[in-house]
């Protein structure tokens, strides 16, 4: 959250860019398996527990974590080593339940709802693709494979896809939309390649710390070569310094 820094500060673009860089680097230090387990256990022991629908969608996030692999052995999972999750949703519910369990890679939201497109801007890891229709129980059933293929094509154009990357598709059981009953499947990817070594050298364990040292300056933050697609979203309060079109 950036409030006074952007609303009143003289350098709103620098403030936002700096926070984006801090977040990008911090995400490299996340232990996704431990995070998933914590979220799942916390919800499991709540009064309402976890529904069958949520459990299915949580499994999509778990699969994304399982299929992420440190191919280059540098101790971090970067943008080319994560699994993409494609979700067909109208209300955004299915995508939100996937994001809730914090997958390692982007959650590509295929939707026919403009409101859902807008709300992805504040959802963890979500990026939207608008389509004309997902179909429905009372109308013609849109082929979910075609919609997922559109999502994969979009991800390829954005540079989110690399050779052998897994794609986890979330669609409905009896229709394309996954908001009521969900089905998880794999539509792309190769057999996982695992490094044959274990991390025994502490200097290789870069997932325990950020790539940035404690001596932080603006240039280092803004020019750090991080191969990672930021998942955390930034909310800014826009003030007078942000009102000209170029700054916006």
For 68, other C-beta atoms within 10 Å of its C-beta total 21
Q: What is the pLDDT of residues 159-180, one digit of tens each?
A: 777 666 788 999 998 889 999 9
Q: What is the pTM of this model?
A: 0.78
Sheet with 107-111: strands ordered across: 126-130, 107-111, 84-88, 167-172, 182-188
At residue 112, the pLDDT reads 94
> Could you tell me which of 187, 203, 165 has the C-alpha nearest to residue 87?
187
Confidence of residue 241 (pLDDT cuts 50, 70, 90): confident
What percent of the chain stands above pLDDT 70?
Answer: 76
At residue 171, the pLDDT reads 93
């Amino acid at each position: 959250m950036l409030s006074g820094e952007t609303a009143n500060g003289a350098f709103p673009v620098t403030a936002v860019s700096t926070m984006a860089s801090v977040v990008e680097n911090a995400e490299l230090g996340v232990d996704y398996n431990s995070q998933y387990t914590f979220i799942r256990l916390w919800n499991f022991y709540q009064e309402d527990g976890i529904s069958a629908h949520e459990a299915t969608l949580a499994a999509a996030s778990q699969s994304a974590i399982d299929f992420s692999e440190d191919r280059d052995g540098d101790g971090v999972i970067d943008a080319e080593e994560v699994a993409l999750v494609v979700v067909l949703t109208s209300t955004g519910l299915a995508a939100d339940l996937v994001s809730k369990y914090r997958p390692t890679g982007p959650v590509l939201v295929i939707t026919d709802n403009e409101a859902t497109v807008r709300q992805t801007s504040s959802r963890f890891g979500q990026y939207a693709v608008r389509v004309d229709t997902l179909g429905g129980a009372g109308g013609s059933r849109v082929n979910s494979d075609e919609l997922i293929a559109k999502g994969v094509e979009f991800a390829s154009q954005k540079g989110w896809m690399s050779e052998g990357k897994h794609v986890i598709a979330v669609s409905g059981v009896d229709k394309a939309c996954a908001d009521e009953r969900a089905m998880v499947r794999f539509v792309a990817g190769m057999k996982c390649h695992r490094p044959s070594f274990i991390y025994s050298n502490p200097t290789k364990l870069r997932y325990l710390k950020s790539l940035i040292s404690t001596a932080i300056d603006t240039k280092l933050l803004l020019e750090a070569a991080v191969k990672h697609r930021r998942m955390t979203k930034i909310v800014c309060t826009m003030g007078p310094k942000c009102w000209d079109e170029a700054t916006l």
